[in-house]
Amino acid sequence: MFTFEDVRHRAAALRILRRMPPLSGAGIRIQRASGLRDRRGPVHAGAFVRERRIAFDCAPGEFPRIFAHEIAHFIWPRLGNPKRRLWESMLRRELRARVPGELGWSAQWRKAALAPHDMAGRTRRWREYCCEAFCDTAAWMWSGMARHREFTLPSTARRKRRFWFRLNLDSGHLSI
């Protein structure tokens, strides 16, 4: 299912995949690419879902967290609208309760940038936050990293997210 252009990624990726529910779908190419950037600056990785590839530019110690996050980008669009809307509902409850923090920088900065109308209007900004919160939660759940400086979401909210993942994702194969 995965083709590793850099064999150094293979062992770490396999350890993470064992923590995840079974995956099914077309193959994904895993590659190393120096100097990755997006419109805001340098990034650790990029998931190119339509091209079925993930490019990494991260330190070995960050690879487990980043790999799990990027794989989640392949899961998110295939969850279907009902499950994505359930995820959104949970995030709405967190925001209304003013729960601080997140489980990664990609969700944290998007959360901080939300305007009051984003949630109600399901704007692109809101939908991108929901996707990144899902992917950062997946990274927290499946990377095997118990602690990281970007894991700032309070433990009560973490438990609710873990419950959501177990209830909605652990019941069979996840399509990627």
Query: What count of Cα atoms within 13 Å lies in the side-chain half-sphere of residue 104?
Result: 25
Question: Are 88 and 71 within one domain?
Answer: no
Instruction: Choose the final residue of a domain: 23, 54, 77.
Output: 77
In this structure, are 23 and 85 located in the same domain?
no
Q: Which of 145, 17, 160, 38 is nearest to 91 (CA)?
A: 160
Helix (H, G, I), strand (E, B) or coil at 105: helix
What does the pLDDT read at residue 43? Answer: 87
Is the pLDDT confidence value at 62 over 90? yes
Query: 22 lies in which domain range?
Result: 2-77
Residues 121 and 168 in one domain: yes
Q: In 3-state terms, what secondary structure has residue 60?
A: helix
* Residue 172 banded pLDDT, cuts 50, 70, 90: confident
> What CA–CA distance (Å, rounded) separates 149 from 23?
29
Beta pairing, strands 2-4 & 28-32: parallel
164 with 84, same domain: the answer is yes
The reported pLDDT for the residue numbered 7 is 85
Q: Which of 23-32, 41-50, 72-81, 154-163 has the lowest mean pLDDT?
A: 41-50
Tokens 């909210």 belong to residue? 157
Q: What's the rounded Cα separation, in Å, for the pair 174 and 53?
A: 17
Answer yes or no: is pLDDT of 115 > 90: yes
Encode pLDDT of 14-32 as tens digits.
999 999 999 999 999 999 9
The residue out of 59, 77, 95 marking a domain boundary is 77
Could you give the angle at which helices 124-142 and 155-169 cross, rounded to 10 degrees? 90
Among 46, 77, 108, the domain boundary falls at 77
Are 44 and 28 members of one domain?
yes
Q: Is 24 helix (H, G, I), strand (E, B) or coil?
A: strand
What is the per-residue pLDDT across 31-60, written as a single tens digit (0 to 9) for each?
999 998 888 888 899 999 999 999 999 999
Mean pLDDT estimate for the chain: 95
SS3 149: coil
Same domain, 110 and 60: no
Whether 21 and 65 share a structural domain: yes
Which residues have C-beta within 8 Å of that of residue 136, sequence separation ≥ 6? Answer: 69, 102, 103, 104, 106, 107, 150
Please check whether residues 49 and 102 belong to one and the same domain.
Answer: no
Tell whether 86 and 141 lie within a shared domain.
yes
- Rounded Cα distance between 108 and 63, Å, is 19
**Count of the separate structural domains present in the chain:** 2
pLDDT band at 6 (very low <50, low <70, confident <90, very high): confident
